[in-house]
Structure 1
Amino acid sequence: METLTVDQILDASLTDWRRLAQGLHARYRTGDFRTGLALVDAAAAAAETANHHPDIALRHGSVEFRLLSHDAGGVTQRDVDLARRISRIAADLGVDATPQRLVMVELALDTARVAELGPFWAALLTGSADNVHGDDVIDRTGQVPLVWLQHTEPHETPRQRFHFDVWVPHDVADDRIAAAVAAGGRVVDDSSAPSFTVLADPEGNRACVCTCLER
């Protein structure tokens, strides 16, 4: 299946879902474990029928889903179709989506030596140097954040090479940036907004607020 563009995903009007770094994400406020389990059970049955399986995180008061077609390397129509089905299941259970609460953190490392560093970080974080896909170190168990090796020109070792990429829904980014600034941070560079905005804390340590837009 062909992967969908960001515009195609947005045009699908998936009210409960947001595109973050690579997949579609949804978070539902269940209120209690039993309701969350019912949502998971029904979503799992729909996934079996579709032969397409989301990542699911069940917590006491919420359930989170991520949909991604790994074989296609992105979001496809089957992800959109299953997202719609899960939304209908949640609605039937009286469970509300809270897309404004979605967040995904990845670690970004500036380096001109991606091919050398990728296997090291994969081995350290996941136990296998093979868990590198393109510029990403991937933990398929979901226990550690995605590590993105960001290409840069060779340079002397700077004071900061790692930074956080904080992925939020595109309609939440402005509020998140404003909150960080109100808490003592500052906007360093917004020339690439709304794709990403670079912020710094009071000591100058940087992080990016990222969205799916204009990618």
Structure 2
Amino acid sequence: MDVLTVQAIQDAGLADWSKLSTALHARYLVGSLAEGLGFAQAVAEVSAGHDPEVRATSTFVDLKLTTPGAVDSDGDVRTTVTQLDVDVARSISELAAARGLKADLDGIFLVELGLDTHDADEIGPFWAALLTGDAANYKNHLEVVDPTGRAPDLWFQKTSEHETPRQRFHYDLWMPIAQAPARIEAAVAAGGTITFAEYESFTVLTDAQGNNACICTIQGR
């Protein structure tokens, strides 16, 4: 299936869901583990074989939807959001509403790690083996992806060759577009500084000792 543009996803009107990086994410609040597991089972029944990734707890259920083998406008094949994901997300939202479950938009976020390097291929297999146990999980000369979802995704940011700087790792925190400004405001109030905000898609925040982190959204991508 074809990859959906950011605008198409926003136009779909999925009030409970947000696209973070490559997938649609939602969180619904539940009153017990039994209720969470019951909701997860009902989700499996309405997903028509396109089962989301589900994490059920005693207070919330997290869901993630994506399509492997999606084709983008350049003809490249990758894992991301298609119309199938949007359709399943809409069905899950209807299911949640019928059960009286509230969506928690503030609970939707995704943490990735970024590592500056002039040669990702030189170190990528090492980090894949370290984080996932298999060097083959270094993908596309760009990133390490744990197929079990236990380790955060690690991507490599291209730099020129240089002496080791003080900071090479940084956090990327993916958030829904509407929730990102409040998180940025909270970080600044806690002693951070906005050091780069020229693009809609990410804002660089720096702590009092010069360490950087990015808050990312799909806006403008």
Name the TM tier (shorter chain): over 0.9
Q: Which residue of 1 is the match for residue 139 of structure 2? A: 133
Aligned to 1:67: 65
Q: Say which of 136, 144, 150 aligns to 2:157.
A: 150
Q: Distance in 2 between matches of 1:33 and 1:51?
A: 24
Q: Using the alignment, how far apart are the partners of 1:77 and 1:30 within structure 2?
A: 28
1:130 alignment partner, SS class:
helix
Report how far residue 117 of structure 1 moved: 1.6
User: Corresponding residue for 1:46?
Assistant: 46
Determine the structure 1 residue equivalent to 2:97. 91
- After TM superposition, the structure 1 = structure 2 runs for residues 177-192 of structure 1, keeping only pairs within 5 Å, are 177-192=184-199
Q: Does 1:80 align with 2:86?
A: yes
| Secondary structure of the structure 1 residue equivalent to 2:92 | helix
Aligned partners of 2:90 and 2:138: how far apart in 1? 31
**C-alpha RMSD of the superposition:** 0.9
Distance across 1 between alignment mates of 2:185 and 2:165: 28
Equivalent residue, structure 2, for 1:160: 167
Give the structure 2 partner of residue 32 of structure 1. 32
DSSP 3-state at the match of 1:16? coil
Distance (whole Å) between structure 2 residues aligned to residue 211 and residue 31 of structure 1: 30
Secondary structure at 2:67 match in 1: coil
| Counterpart residue number, 2:207 | 201
Alpha-carbon offset, residue 163 of structure 1: 0.1
**Counterpart residue type for residue 68 of structure 1:** T
Give SS of 1:71's match: strand
Partner of 2:53: 55
- Unmatched segments (≥5 aa) in structure 1: none
Residues 160-206 of structure 1: CA deviation (Å, up to 9, x unaligned): 000000111110111000000000111011112x2000001111100
Q: The residue matched to 1:27 in structure 2 has which SS?
A: strand
Matched, 1:16 2:16: yes
1:146 & 1:189 partners in 2: Cα distance?
23
**Unaligned runs of at least 5 residues, structure 2:** 71-78
Equivalent position SS for 2:45: helix
Structure 1 range deviating more: 32-41 or 56-65: 32-41
In the alignment, the residues of structure 2 paired with residue 180 and residue 104 of structure 1 have an alpha-carbon distance, to the nearest angstrom, of: 16
Identity of aligned residues (%): 49
| Count of residue pairs brought into register by the alignment | 212
3-state SS in 1 of match to 2:41:
helix
Task: Please state how far the C-alpha of 1:53 moved relative to its aligned partner.
Answer: 1.6
String of CA shifts for 1:13-32, please: whole Å, max 9, x gaps: 10000011110000001121
TM-score, with length taken from structure 1: 0.96
TM-score by length of 2: 0.94
Show the counterpart of 1:108. Answer: 114
Amino acid of the structure 2 residue aligned with 1:189: F
Check if 1:169 corresponds to 2:176. yes
Shift of 1:126: 0.2
Structure 1 moving runs of 4+ over 3 Å: none
Amino acid paired to 1:23? A
1:123-167, Cα deviation, whole Å (9 max, x unpaired): 000000001222120011111101011112222211100000011
Q: For residues 27-75 of structure 1, what are the alpha-carbon distances to aligned partners after superposition, in whole Å with 9 as ceiling and x for unaligned?
A: 001121121111101001122xx22121101111000000011222210
